[in-house]
Amino acid sequence: MSTPPVCGAQQPGSVPGPFNWQGIAALGAGASLIGGGYALGNALFGASTLLGAYVFTAGAAGAAAIFALVFYYAFKADGCIISPTKGETICLSGIVQDSTDESSTAVDVPAPYAMGPAGLFNLVVKSIYFRYVSMNSYWVYCNSLGTPLLPCVIKSKTACGAKIGSLVGVTVGAIAGAFAGYFAAAALGAAIGCAASGPFYLLCLLIVLIVAAIVAAAVAIAGAIIGGWIGEGVAAAANSDPVGDAWKGLSPGAIVTVQGNWITDPDIGNNELFYTTSINRTGQYPTPPDFTTADADSTAADDCPIAPQPIQ
């Protein structure tokens, strides 16, 4: 049997994460919306009036902040709009140590655009597959017995629908929100008697600017949430999910052969399957967890086409 990887840190230094381009792009998109809002407000309402371009721009800024937030999550490299990090397609087998449902009602309902993977399971791999756990990794997860584990991440098809729906919804909401913010601020300004001069002019102007931004942001986030719910529902009704269904049926001790996109996690530095693309359950180990590599090696031969050479 190959020498098992050491648990924990594997090499010094920080994990070389990818450039956060979507954050820069989200800020750029938000700034563009603010600039466009000023130009549109100036054209429609005039820059010389109190409730003119500046108030409309404040509404556009509130909507743009929400748009940038949704944009950031929607364009993450998670396989929904942008493909995930391309690694190597591998096949390996072992015993399921545990399985975790990563979904959260606290996120799914108020922020469907931020939904992540459906879940993951940790695999006690056979010794011939140790290389997939440790090669070029910065961290190795182990169970309480010191057995190395390979996390296998499951893609959420409904999360992709939610993100696309949220992106459509926030676009509509941002446009509607900018106008709603302007008219709400105009109504408030008229109600409290804002004048173009006087000791309370600046305070009054500040109040209407804040109201415009808050109302616009509220309409934009409502659009994102409602759009996300609709997208999630459509995805749930339209997509078959054989991998997700197979994952939901797994329990600790399941003997499986899996395939997927093998990468190094950009945050923690552990190797993993992101995402798992195939799960073939071939049996159930007779004893409860935790499991050892010897347990995995004692299971029947897997159906991977080619077994890798063990690391010496």
Residues of the chain with pLDDT > 70, as a percent, come to 87
Total length of the chain: 312
Which candidate, 106, 70, 71, 75, places its Cα nearest to that of 225? 70
Among the residue ranges 45-54, 111-120, 147-156, 241-250, the one predicted with the least confidence is 45-54
DSSP assignment string, 129-181: GHHHHHTT-SEEEE-TT--EEEEEEE--HHHHHHHHHHHHHHHHHHHHHHHHH
Distance CA 5, CA 294 (A): 14
pLDDT on residue 78: 84
pLDDT on residue 16: 63
Whole-model pTM above 0.85? Answer: no
Which candidate, 142, 157, 148, places its Cα nearest to that of 277? 157
pLDDT on residue 197: 57
- Judged against a pLDDT cut of 60, whether residue 237 lies above it is answered with yes
Domains and CATH numbers, the chain: 21-77+161-238 (no CATH), 84-155+240-297 (2.40.50.140)
pLDDT on residue 310: 43
Using pLDDT thresholds of 50, 70 and 90, give the confidence band for residue 311: very low
**Strand pairing report for 271-284 and 139-142:** unpaired
